[in-house]
């Protein structure tokens, strides 16, 4: 998604509206104290049917509601309500390609309150085209950041709050300064946590390991999908446990999972090649299984996909 991408429309205040009309006042809770929670969801384009299929819509809306609950952002969102907006948006925008959807709840008013009567919740949802990143094929170079991932006792990573991304921004900036694609953050205990947008997996001697959800990570939905596919298509039971930093340097393969980066191979950590320095065989097999499932369209066997209501006609 390019910074320059500005769709013509956005879902805002209960309807599809021109992009320029979606504004908040500078003196609002979201601007002053980052009172906002969000999701990142994907719609996969199905050319045979000229419609999108939305991936894990239920899980994303559930996580959004759970995030809002922890930080007390009152809302009456439902899966049906979110999907109604998504459907109207893809029809209005007419994108005949994969899209990224970012439902966001925020507080306009209501300083530190839990009282729905004196708080004012806003909801917006842009939909962007998402061309496939080249690093999904070539792999990413990562560094281990000197910044630690915030913890469950500070700014809980399980909550997908905009405020958490300040912590992740510092790590991203460090990666950029080091000439790397991405940064892995360690948690307060010095164990591997996650990147700013993905869960981390390691392969060594045919065993697959990933930090447990209690290791200061977002409970990534793609992580769950990867665990499911590894179990069902490769007979591998992923170990969810604390992961040491040095395990990154000794791994045969490292890969990342996230809605945007999908299954992305890591080819170096701190400039040390992972395995042979090119994407590993298990990572590639998992990518194939993941894309087949995401692009199954009407043939979805896993219950991952929800079809868009309307077809998007060619212009």
| Nearest distance, CB of residue 146 and ligand PMP, angstroms | 18
Which range in 11-19, 107-115, 194-202, 238-246 contacts ligand PMP by CB under 6 A? 194-202
93/200 with CB nearer ligand PMP: 200
Kindly state whether residue 198 participates in binding ligand PMP, applying the rule CB under 6 A. Answer: yes
Does 89 contact ligand PMP by CB under 6 A? no
Is there binding between residue 43 and ligand PMP (CB under 6 A)? no
Binding characters for ligand PMP, 217-256, by CB under 6 A (x = yes): -x-xxxx---------------------------------
Strand 182-186 and strand 140-148: the pairing is parallel
Q: Are strands 262-269 and 140-148 parallel, antiparallel or unpaired?
A: parallel
Q: Shortest distance, CB of residue 142 to ligand PMP, whole angstroms?
A: 14
Q: Name the minimum Å distance from CB 199 to ligand PMP.
A: 5
CA atoms within 13 A on the CB side of 30: 22
How deeply is 161 buried, as exposed, middle or buried, from its count of CB atoms within 10 A (0-12, 13-18, 19+)?
Answer: buried
As a 3-state breakdown, the chain gives helix, strand, coil percent values, each rounded to 5, of 30, 30, 40
Residues between 252 and 281 that touch ligand PMP (CB under 6 A): 257-259
- What span, in angstroms and rounded, lies between the C-alpha atoms of 197 and 38? 13
> If you ran DSSP here, which 8-state letter would residue 161 be given?
B
For 92, the enclosing helix (H) or strand (E) is helix 79-93
Residue (119 or 259) nearer to ligand PMP, CB: 259
Residues marked active site are found at 160
- Least distance to ligand PMP from the beta carbon of 77, Å? 17
Task: Calculate helix-pair angle for 57-70, 221-234, nearest 10 degrees.
Answer: 140
Distances (CA, A) of 156 to 35, 59, 165, 214, 256: 14, 19, 11, 10, 21
Total residues contacting ligand PMP (rule CB under 6 A)?
A: 15
Q: Is 184 in the site for ligand PMP (CB under 6 A)?
A: no
CB of 66 to ligand PMP, least distance (A): 12
Residues that bind ligand PMP (CB under 6 A): 40, 168, 194, 196-199, 218, 220-223, 257-259
């Amino acid at each position: 998604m390019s910074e320059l991408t500005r769709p013509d429309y956005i879902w805002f205040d209960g309807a599809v509206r021109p992009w320029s009309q979606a504004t908040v006042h500078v003196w609002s809770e979201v601007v002053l104290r980052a009172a906002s929670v969000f999701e990142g969801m994907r719609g996969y384009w199905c050319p045979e049917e000229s419609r999108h299929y939305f991936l894990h819509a239920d899980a994303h809306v559930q996580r959004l509601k759970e995030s809002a609950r922890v930080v007390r952002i009152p809302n009456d969102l439902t899966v049906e309500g979110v999907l109604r907006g998504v459907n109207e948006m893809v029809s209005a925008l007419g994108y005949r390609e994969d899209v990224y959807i970012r439902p966001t709840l925020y507080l306009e008013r209501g300083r530190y309150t839990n009282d729905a009567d004196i708080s004012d919740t806003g909801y917006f949802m842009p939909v962007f085209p998402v061309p496939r990143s080249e690093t999904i094929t070539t792999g990413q170079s990562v560094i281990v950041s000197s910044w630690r991932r915030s913890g469950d006792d500070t700014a809980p990573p399980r909550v997908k709050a905009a405020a958490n991304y300040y912590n992740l921004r510092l790590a991203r900036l460090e990666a950029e300064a080091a000439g790397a694609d991405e940064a892995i953050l360690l948690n307060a205990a010095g164990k591997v946590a996650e990147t700013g947008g993905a869960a981390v997996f390691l392969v060594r001697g045919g065993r697959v390991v990933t930090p447990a959800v209690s290791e200061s990570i977002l409970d990534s939905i793609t992580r769950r999908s990867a665990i499911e596919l590894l179990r069902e298509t490769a007979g591998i039971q992923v170990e969810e446990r604390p992961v040491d930093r040095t395990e990154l340097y000794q791994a045969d393969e490292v890969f990342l999972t996230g809605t945007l980066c999908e299954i992305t191979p890591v080819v170096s950590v701190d400039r040390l090649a992972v395995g042979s320095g090119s994407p590993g065989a298990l990572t590639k097999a998992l990518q194939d299984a993941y894309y087949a499932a995401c692009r199954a369209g009407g043939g979805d066997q896993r219950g991952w996909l929800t079809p868009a209501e309307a077809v998007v006609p060619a212009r």
